[in-house]
């Protein structure tokens, strides 16, 4: 599973005190950062660069988000944040191919006139479960390890604690599946 972001262009980029900015676009997802090339002296840069994010076999979660940052490259010191926006992952999960013109806010959250044009594409899990976080109903199948839940476990306890003593993802998924089945049984009565 993966998603890509085609960073096309920006418009209405703020100018510096002494000329135009040297803008680039940076996409941030769960601590991973990828950025386009810098376009020098431009208030309307065009990148047309594709940035890819490998999800390491995991689906996007509907509660996650993708941050779009427009920065001004600085020769000396830190690059300056010109604007940012957040794209909810659920929008990408629902459409798989999303074309956007996002309006950015400044570092204090105030809206600006700056926009960044993007195209996002998501390659979902082969099972067709559009994304976790509860958006896909029965998309979680119990961990994918071939085991089903234990019908003799009426309490639906989480089994198999991991090395850190916390439930593993598979055992937590099995518990959610048991809980869903209990709820369906209640509703059908």
Q: Which two three-digit tokens encode residue 80?
A: 């300056």
Whether 163 has a pLDDT exceeding 60, the answer reads: no
* Helix residue ranges per DSSP H, the chain: 89-95, 169-188
Whether 159 has a pLDDT exceeding 70, the answer reads: no
pLDDT-derived band at 149 (thresholds 50, 70, 90) equals very low
Average pLDDT of span 18-24:
91
> Which residue in 25, 20, 26 sits closest to 9, CA to CA?
25
| pLDDT for 170 | 59
| pLDDT for 52 | 95
* Sequence-ordered strand ranges (E) for the chain: 2-11, 23-29, 32-35, 46-54, 65-72, 80-88, 97-105, 111-123
| pLDDT for 124 | 83
| pLDDT for 137 | 36
CA distance 107 to 104: 10
Angle at 97 between CA 72 and CA 138, to 5 degrees: 120
| pLDDT for 112 | 95
pLDDT tens figures, 38-80 = 999 999 999 999 999 999 889 999 999 999 999 999 999 999 9
71 or 123, which is more confident? 71
Q: Which two three-digit tokens encode residue 129?
A: 């479960």
Mean pLDDT of the chain: 79
Q: Long-range contacts for 154-163 (Cβ within 8 Å, ≥24 apart)? A: 156/182
Q: Checking phi first, is residue 127 left (phi over 0); if not, alpha (psi -120 to 50) or beta?
A: alpha
Whether 23 has a pLDDT exceeding 90, the answer reads: yes
Whether 14 has a pLDDT exceeding 60, the answer reads: yes
The fraction of the chain above a pLDDT of 90, given in percent, is 56
pLDDT tens figures, 78-102 = 999 999 999 999 999 999 999 999 9
CA distance 127 to 136: 11
| pLDDT for 131 | 46
CA distance 10 to 101: 9
Strands 2-11 and 111-123: antiparallel
Do residues 25 and 70 make contact, with C-beta atoms less than 8 angstroms apart?
yes
């Amino acid at each position: 599973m993966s998603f890509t972001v085609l960073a096309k262009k920006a418009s209405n980029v703020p100018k510096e005190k002494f000329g135009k900015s040297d803008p680039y676009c940076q996409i941030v997802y769960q601590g991973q950062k990828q950025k386009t090339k810098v376009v020098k002296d431009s208030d309307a840069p065009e990148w047309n660069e594709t940035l890819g994010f490998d999800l390491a076999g995991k689906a996007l979660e509907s509660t996650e988000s993708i941050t779009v940052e427009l920065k001004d490259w600085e020769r000396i010191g830190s690059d300056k944040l010109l604007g940012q926006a957040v794209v909810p992952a659920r929008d990408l999960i629902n459409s798989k191919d999303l074309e956007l013109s996002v309006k950015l806010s400044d570092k204090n959250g105030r809206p600006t006139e700056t926009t960044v044009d993007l195209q996002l594409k998501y390659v979902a899990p082969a099972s067709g479960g559009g994304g976790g976080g509860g958006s896909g109903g029965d998309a979680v199948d119990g961990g994918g390890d071939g085991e089903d839940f234990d019908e003799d476990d009426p309490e639906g306890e989480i089994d198999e604690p991991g090395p850190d003593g916390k439930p593993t993802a598979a055992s937590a998924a099995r518990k959610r599946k048991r809980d869903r089945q209990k709820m369906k049984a209640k509703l059908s009565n």
